[in-house]
Amino acid sequence: MSLALIAALPFLGALLPGLMIRAGRNACAMTTGFVTALALLMLGLHAPAVLRGEVIQTRIEWLPGLGLNANFFLDGLGLLFAGLILGIGLLIILYARFYLSKSDPMGQFYTYLMLFQGAMVGIVLSDNILLLLVFWELTSLSSFLLIGYWKHLPEGRQGARMALTVTGAGGLAMIAGMLILGNIAGSYDLTVILQNKEAIQASEWYLPALILILLGAFTKSAQFPFHFWLPHAMAAPTPVSAYLHSATMVKAGLFLMARMWPVLAGTPEWFYIVATTGLVTMVLAAKIALFKDDLKALLAFSTVSHLGLITMLLGFGTKAAATVAMFHIINHATFKAALFMSAGIVDHEAHTRDIKRLGGLRHLMPVTFAIALIASLSMAGIPPLNGFLSKEMMLEETAHTVWAGSHWLMPVLATLGALFSVAYSFRFLAHTFLGPVRDDYPHKPHDPGFGMWAAPALLAALVVIIGLVPMTAAGWLVDAAAGAVTGEPVAAKIKHWHGLGSPALWMSVLAVGGGLMLLASHARLDAIWNATPRPEAKRIFDGIVEPLAALARRVTAISHDGSLTRYLAIATVTITALGYYAWATADHGTGTRALTPIQTVPAIGWFLLVVSSLALVAFHRNRLLTLVLVGVIGLMVSVGFAYMSAPDLALTQISVEVATVILLLLALNFLPKTTPVESSGGRKLRDGLIAAFGGTGVGVLIYALMTRDFAFPSIAEYHLANSYKEGGGTNVVNVILVDFRGYDTFGEITVLGIGAIVIYALTEALLRGGPANDRLLAWSPDQRRAGDRHPLMLVVATRLMLPVALIVGVYIFLRGHNMPGGGFIAGLVVAIALVMQYMASGFAWTQARQKIDYHALIGAGVLIAAATGIGAWFNGVPFLTSDFGYVNIWPLEEFELATAALFDLGVFLTVLGAVMLALASLSRIAIRAGETINVDAFDIHPENDGPRTEPATTTTEAR
Partner 1 sequence: MTDLGLLDWALTFAFACFGVGLLFNLYRIARAPAVPDRILALDTMVINVIALLVLYGIRTGSGINFEAAMLFAMTGFVSTVAYAKFILRGDIIE
Contacts with partner 1, residue ranges (CB under 8 A) = 600-601, 604-605, 607-608, 611-612, 615, 624-625, 627-629, 631-632, 635, 638-639, 642-643, 647, 650-651, 654-655, 657-658, 661-662, 665-666, 668-669, 781-783, 785-786, 788-790, 794, 798, 801, 805, 808, 812, 819-820, 825, 829, 832, 835-836, 838-839, 842-843, 919, 922-923, 926, 931, 934
Closer of 745 and 846 to partner 1 (Cβ): 846
Cα–Cα distance between 899 and 735 in angstroms, integer? 11
Closer of 607 and 703 to partner 1 (Cβ): 607
Cα–Cα distance between 217 and 311 in angstroms, integer? 10
Q: Nearest approach, Cβ of 890 to partner 1 (angstroms)? A: 29
Cα–Cα distance between 663 and 828 in angstroms, integer? 13
Cα–Cα distance between 358 and 360 in angstroms, integer? 7
From the list 367, 304, 307, the residue with the least C-alpha distance to 338 is 367
Closer of 573 and 627 to partner 1 (Cβ): 627
Residues with Cβ within 8 Å of residue 678, at least 6 apart in sequence: none
Closer of 606 and 718 to partner 1 (Cβ): 606
Q: Nearest approach, Cβ of 651 to partner 1 (angstroms)? A: 6
Q: Nearest approach, Cβ of 805 to partner 1 (angstroms)? A: 6
Q: Nearest approach, Cβ of 772 to partner 1 (angstroms)? A: 18
* Cis amide leading into 225 (omega within 30): yes
- C-beta atoms surrounding 221 within 10 Å: 30
Q: Nearest approach, Cβ of 705 to partner 1 (angstroms)? A: 25
Closer of 252 and 836 to partner 1 (Cβ): 836
Closer of 313 and 649 to partner 1 (Cβ): 649
Scanning 644-674, the segments in alpha helix (DSSP H) are: 647-668
Cα–Cα distance between 86 and 948 in angstroms, integer? 74
Closer of 528 and 601 to partner 1 (Cβ): 601
Q: Nearest approach, Cβ of 584 to partner 1 (angstroms)? A: 38
Q: Classify the phi-psi angles of 728: left when phi > 0, otherwise alpha if psi is within -120 to 50, otherwise beta.
A: left
Closer of 355 and 808 to partner 1 (Cβ): 808
CB 820 within 8 A of CB 647: yes
Closer of 552 and 852 to partner 1 (Cβ): 852
Closer of 273 and 661 to partner 1 (Cβ): 661
From the list 836, 846, 833, the residue with the least C-alpha distance to 807 is 833
CA–CA distances in Å: residue 437 to residues 343, 363, 365, 454: 18, 7, 11, 25
From the list 672, 662, 669, the residue with the least C-alpha distance to 630 is 662
Written as one letter, the residue type at 261 is W
Q: Nearest approach, Cβ of 178 to partner 1 (angstroms)? A: 58
Strand residues in 163-243 grouped as ranges (E): none
Q: Nearest approach, Cβ of 940 to partner 1 (angstroms)? A: 15
CB 178 within 8 A of CB 129: yes
Q: Nearest approach, Cβ of 957 to partner 1 (angstroms)? A: 14
Closer of 680 and 783 to partner 1 (Cβ): 783
Q: Nearest approach, Cβ of 907 to partner 1 (angstroms)? A: 18
Taking the alpha carbons of 62, 67, 73, 76 in that order, is the dihedral positive or negative? negative
From the list 372, 128, 122, the residue with the least C-alpha distance to 252 is 122
Cα–Cα distance between 13 and 10 in angstroms, integer? 5
Closer of 573 and 630 to partner 1 (Cβ): 630
DSSP of 807-856, one letter per residue? Answer: HHHHHHHHHTTTSS--HHHHHHHHHHHHHHHHHHH-HHHHHHH----HHH
Cα–Cα distance between 798 and 791 in angstroms, integer? 11
Q: Nearest approach, Cβ of 669 to partner 1 (angstroms)? A: 5
Cα–Cα distance between 165 and 89 in angstroms, integer? 25
Closer of 216 and 816 to partner 1 (Cβ): 816
Closer of 94 and 662 to partner 1 (Cβ): 662
Q: Nearest approach, Cβ of 784 to partner 1 (angstroms)? A: 9
Q: Nearest approach, Cβ of 743 to partner 1 (angstroms)? A: 28
Q: Nearest approach, Cβ of 833 to partner 1 (angstroms)? A: 8
C-alpha dihedral (90, 92, 93, 99), degrees to nearest 10:
160
Closer of 132 and 629 to partner 1 (Cβ): 629
C-alpha dihedral (707, 713, 716, 717), degrees to nearest 10:
120
| H helix count then E strand count, the chain | 42, 6
Closer of 421 and 921 to partner 1 (Cβ): 921
Q: Nearest approach, Cβ of 744 to partner 1 (angstroms)? A: 25
* DSSP structure class, residue 767: T
- C-beta atoms surrounding 730 within 10 Å: 12
Closer of 237 and 821 to partner 1 (Cβ): 821
What are the φ and ψ backbone dihedral angles of 885, each rounded to 5 degrees? -160, 175
Strand residues in 12-99 grouped as ranges (E): 56-58, 72-74
From the list 163, 160, 143, 142, the residue with the least C-alpha distance to 151 is 160
DSSP strand pairing (933-934 vs 895-898)? unpaired
Q: Nearest approach, Cβ of 601 to partner 1 (angstroms)? A: 5
Output the 3-class SS for 480-543: HHHHHHHCCCCCCCCCCCCCCCCHHHHHHHHHHHHHHHHHHCHHHHHHHHHHCCCCCHHHHHHH
Q: Is 628 helix (H, G, I), strand (E, B) or coil?
A: helix
Closer of 134 and 819 to partner 1 (Cβ): 819
Q: Nearest approach, Cβ of 1 to partner 1 (angstroms)? A: 55
Q: Measured between alpha carbons, how far apart are the two ends of the chain, in Å?
A: 51
Written as one letter, the residue type at 742 is G
Q: Nearest approach, Cβ of 613 to partner 1 (angstroms)? A: 12
